[in-house]
């Protein structure tokens, strides 16, 4: 282990300015992506746990106001926020309800308002869930090429040094070329976790998108049956 660390230290000492710059950039990108992975994992885990709790409450409760009170405590659940948007719009319609004159137009416009509120809330929640996830995809797709750039520049520098010294033995070629491959390894180290996390997060967000769409349809059906007869 100490020998490995020593060899890495020697590689860094002999690295060119371009190689060091590439390694610094990849190191910062890797650190930020790991922090982002941890943050998004916690966010999506809380959203999943609270959404399961909300759905259980929603289907067991008999009154929408009781569900609304419970949803107030589940701020990390996208489903609860979608429900709150629909419920608040429904409450506004109930407060502004007119007499029987023009009742049909009111019903049609009212259900459309609730539907639009649900759609706006769904879009807002998807935007929040997807925030900064694209950065992981960017790191996953570009980090290997950044590392390869550092390796290519290191190999070019090694060959230029060999050409100046006029000595092209294995001993003189192996060390600088081997050290330049450290940039490629750093690029892969930054890219692989980012790609895995990106794919996992996108899959989970798609599930939330589907669940919010299904919940919106169910909520609208309930509203139509009980409030827009």
Q: Please tell me the least confidently modeled range out of 3-7, 12-16, 31-35, 38-42.
A: 3-7
Average pLDDT over residues 129-152: 94
Structure-derived torsion over alpha carbons of residues 117, 120, 125, 127, reported in degrees to the nearest 10: -170
Query: Does 204 score more than 60 pLDDT?
Result: yes
Domain boundary assignment for the chain: 2-227
Q: Does residue 45 have a pLDDT over 80?
A: yes
pLDDT confidence band for 171 (50 / 70 / 90): low
Kindly tell me if the per-residue pLDDT of 6 is higher than 50. no
Task: Assess contact for 51 and 214: CB atoms under 8 A.
Answer: no
Q: What is the pTM of this model?
A: 0.83
pLDDT reported for residue 167: 63
Q: DSSP 3-state assignment of 14?
A: helix
The whole-number pLDDT of residue 179 equals 74
Give the list of residues 6+ apart from residue 130 with CB closer than 8 angstroms, or none: 205
pLDDT in tens, 49-62: 999 999 999 999 88
Query: Does pLDDT of 169 surpass 70?
Result: no
* CB 125, CB 208: distance < 8 Å: yes
| 184-195 pLDDT per residue, tens | 989 999 999 999
Q: How many whole angstroms from its chain centre is CA 18?
A: 31
Tokens 């608040």 belong to 88
Dist. CA 129–CA 126, nearest whole Å: 5
For residue 148, pLDDT beyond 50: yes
């Amino acid at each position: 282990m100490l020998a490995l660390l020593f060899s890495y230290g020697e590689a860094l000492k002999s690295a060119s300015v371009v190689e060091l710059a590439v390694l610094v950039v990849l190191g910062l990108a890797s650190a930020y992506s790991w922090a982002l992975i941890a943050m998004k994992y916690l966010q999506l885990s809380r959203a999943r746990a609270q959404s399961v709790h909300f759905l259980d409450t929603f289907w067991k409760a008999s009154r929408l106001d009781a569900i609304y009170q419970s949803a107030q405590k589940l701020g990390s659940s996208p489903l609860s926020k979608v429900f709150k948007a629909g419920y608040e719009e429904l409450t506004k319609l109930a407060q502004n309800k007119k007499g029987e004159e023009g009742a049909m137009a009111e019903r049609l416009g009212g259900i459309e308002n609730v539907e639009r509120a649900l759609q706006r809330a769904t879009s807002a929640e998807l935007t929040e869930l997807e925030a900064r996830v694209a950065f992981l995809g960017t790191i996953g797709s570009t980090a290997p090429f950044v590392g390869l750039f550092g390796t290519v520049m290191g190999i070019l520098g090694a060959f230029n040094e060999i050409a100046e010294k006029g000595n092209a033995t294995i001993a003189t070629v192996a060390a600088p070329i081997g050290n330049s491959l450290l940039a490629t390894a750093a690029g892969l180290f930054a890219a692989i976790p980012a790609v895995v996390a990106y794919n996992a997060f996108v899959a989970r967000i798609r599930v939330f998108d589907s669940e919010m769409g299904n919940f919106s349809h169910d909520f609208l059906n309930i509203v139509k049956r009980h409030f827009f007869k």
